[in-house]
Amino acid sequence: MRNRLFWLGAIAAFITWITPALAQIDPLPSWNDGSVKQTIIAFVTDVTREGSPDFVPEAERIATFDNDGTLWVEQPVYVQFAFALDRVKALAPQHPEWKDTQPFKAALEGDMAAVAAAGEHGAVEIVAATHAGMTPTEFKQIAKDWLATARHPRFGRRYEDLVYQPMLEVLAYMRANGFKTFIVSGGGIEFLRAFAPERYGIPSERIVGSSIVTSFERRDGTPILFRLPKVNFVDDGPGKPVGINQHIGLRPVAAFGNSDGDLEMLQWTTETGGRRLGVLVHHTDAEREYAYDRDSRVGRLDKALDAAAMDRWTVVDMKRDWKVIFPPETR
């Protein structure tokens, strides 16, 4: 009996000692102390604490994250578009007509001004020509192979290494508190599936993105899916709430973005009853990453920045709020 009482007392003492210590463990160590960090922590604490007036049942704890510019670098061009431009060069021997056809001619010559001048229509042409004509499995492998070797033109690191360490911590912190985290991106859903599960810990079924038309076929008696050069769904701007509804079926309680393409997702998340969190990552650090907002062609943050004040969203100042931008270089 004495031994039992001794061990019970020892366990109680240990719990009493360890609880304050655990409470002091910083869940977001790459964030500088300040109002932004405290807002995120306070939100997670309040909506996950039973008895709190803001308590959200675990089944309803949905958090959505844009990808480009929110979870990884998006300048000087979106990563997937850099992939598409490299695919133009790889496929050029099969398409001699591209040497004299815009926007492919500009892409082959590296004339980014002419590529930009082709606008959205030109970008769609390039993506359609380079992302179709294969199965999803084949496309995924091509994307994986490219990501394994392609390097960012400024930082010289693989694109997968240029994810934001502070945001990786937010993903882990929210999952540790019962949240289901989803990517909701204007990028291609199959391209995202090539790296996001391993890099972000977000499984394929929790990725919402743009898509091209895919058909079911039988070839040599084998059923396959085949990607066609035609846009199916654009998961950007007003398309994001639609994609969330179609894929998730629940309204998020937290949403993270960085550009006008995320405006409607944040409005859909926060302009409703109950405790909600809307976060915008504002790129303000030209030395460690990039500084851009209202006048940028890539990741423009204009209308959403104005809406942040009205809807009381939390704006992350990258230069002020983040101790580090990218994870340590390990390869």
- Per DSSP, the residues of 75-86 read -SS-HHHHHHHH
Examine the pLDDT at 3 and tell me if it is beyond 50: yes
Q: What is the predicted pLDDT for the residue at 7?
A: 55
20 to each of 25, 51, 249, how far by Cα in Å? 9, 21, 39
CA-based radius of gyration for the chain: 23
Q: What is the predicted pLDDT for the residue at 120?
A: 86
How many residues are given for the chain? 331
Q: What is the predicted pLDDT for the residue at 254?
A: 98
> Tens of pLDDT along 74-120?
999 999 999 999 999 999 999 999 999 999 999 999 999 999 899 88
Q: What is the mean pLDDT of the chain?
A: 93
Q: What percent of the chain has pLDDT over 90?
A: 89
Q: From CA 136, how far away is CA 224, in angstroms rounded?
A: 9
Q: 27-74+158-321 belongs to which homologous superfamily?
A: HAD superfamily/HAD-like (3.40.50.1000)
b/e code 195-206 from CB counts within 10 Å (16+ = b):
bbbebbebeeeb
> Tens of pLDDT along 250-265?
999 999 999 999 999 9
Examine the pLDDT at 52 and tell me if it is beyond 70: yes
Q: What is the predicted pLDDT for the residue at 267?
A: 98
pTM equals 0.91
Q: From CA 100, how far away is CA 313, in angstroms rounded?
A: 48
Strand pairing report for 254-257 and 222-233: unpaired
> Tens of pLDDT along 254-309?
999 999 999 999 999 999 989 999 999 999 999 999 999 999 999 999 999 999 99
Mean pLDDT across 141-170: 98
Examine the pLDDT at 211 and tell me if it is beyond 70: yes
The answer to whether residues 217 and 97 touch, using CB atoms and an 8 Å cutoff, is no
- Per DSSP, the residues of 166-179 read HHHHHHHHHHHTTP
Q: What is the predicted pLDDT for the residue at 329?
A: 79
Could you give the angle at the alpha carbon of 197 between the alpha carbons of 187 and 319, nearest 5°?
65
Q: What is the predicted pLDDT for the residue at 273?
A: 86
Q: 134 φ, ψ to 5°?
A: -160, 175
Q: From CA 21, how far away is CA 24, in angstroms rounded?
A: 5
> Tens of pLDDT along 313-330?
999 999 999 999 999 976
Examine the pLDDT at 10 and tell me if it is beyond 80: no
> How is residue 2 written in tokens?
């004495």
